[in-house]
Structure 1
Amino acid sequence: MEVIKKFKPLDERFPLERQLDISAAPIVLINIFTVDAADEAAFLENFKAAGTVFTKQPGYISSQLHRAIGDSPTYLNYVVWESTETLREAFSRPEFFEKVSAYPASVVATPHLFQKIAAPGHGAA
């Protein structure tokens, strides 16, 4: 993941590299991207190119990109994977690194892994 010029853990005590060492299934990769407004079009173009690699990998289930409302060039990407193992394998693909390396220098990525849980009155696991 260091190919993105700026990579910032959501939780400094538990960066993505440590999370990927845990066997868990299914998982959700949440990645918040901030980008300079001038680089927004280039980011989206390169994000789409990287996504074409990701979506063809074993273990990929689904994804959705969201943009912050208003003038904030902030994006939230939500990707469901079968397991940490399949995500780790997808991250190791040279063609994925090639696409992500083309992100503009202003991009800051903040990824973290999650699992769905039961919350009474708010959904089931």
Structure 2
Amino acid sequence: MVKFKPLDPEFPIDRQLGIDAGPVVLVNLFTVDPVDQDALVAAWKSDAQWMKAQPGYISTQLHKAIGDGGMYLNYAVWDSVADFRAAFSNPEFQAHLDHYPSSAVTAPHLFEKVAVQNCCTV
């Protein structure tokens, strides 16, 4: 089963799930023993396919850190925290977490876009 580690210990994902915001981006850093990388990708793929069918899901992309390490970044876009919370808290999804290799550690965090004049818009 995957182990959870907060990306920001002052405001972990369980606290973020109580906020009403949207749209949001889930940034989820995974670390895994390099021998377990195929198992991590297989578990993530299964979860991603399930999430794609959930209300409020927009998109996702998995990235692997360059080099020989075992770090991955998942970037997923959701209509709202409420939609992500409903999917993430669903018992069917929670049961999938057992499919991750025992060396897997995940650090999920939700973000909102920031408008910066002449650089990016909301």
TM-score tier, shorter chain, comes to over 0.9
> What TM-score does the superposition give when structure 1 sets the normalisation length?
0.93
Query: Which residue identity is paired with 1:70?
Result: G
Where 2:9 maps in the other structure, the secondary structure is: coil
Corresponding residue for 1:7?
Answer: 4
Using the aligned pairs only, state the percent identity: 50
- Computed over aligned residues only, the root mean square deviation of the Cα atoms, in angstroms, reads 1.1
Q: 1:85 aligns with which of 82, 85, 94?
A: 82
For 2:87 and 2:10, the matched residues in 1 are separated by 24
Indicate whether 1:94 and 2:91 are aligned: yes
Q: CA deviation at 1:101?
A: 1.6
**4+ residue segments displaced more than 6 Å:** none
Gaps of 5+ in 1: none
Q: 2:73 aligns with which of 70, 76, 93?
A: 76
Contact 1:47–1:100, Cα closer than 8 Å, also in 2: no
Q: 1:62 aligns with which of 55, 59, 62?
A: 59
> What TM-score does the superposition give when structure 2 sets the normalisation length?
0.95
For 1:99 and 1:36, the matched residues in 2 are separated by 19
More helix by share: 2
Gaps of 5+ in 2: none
Number of paired residues? 122
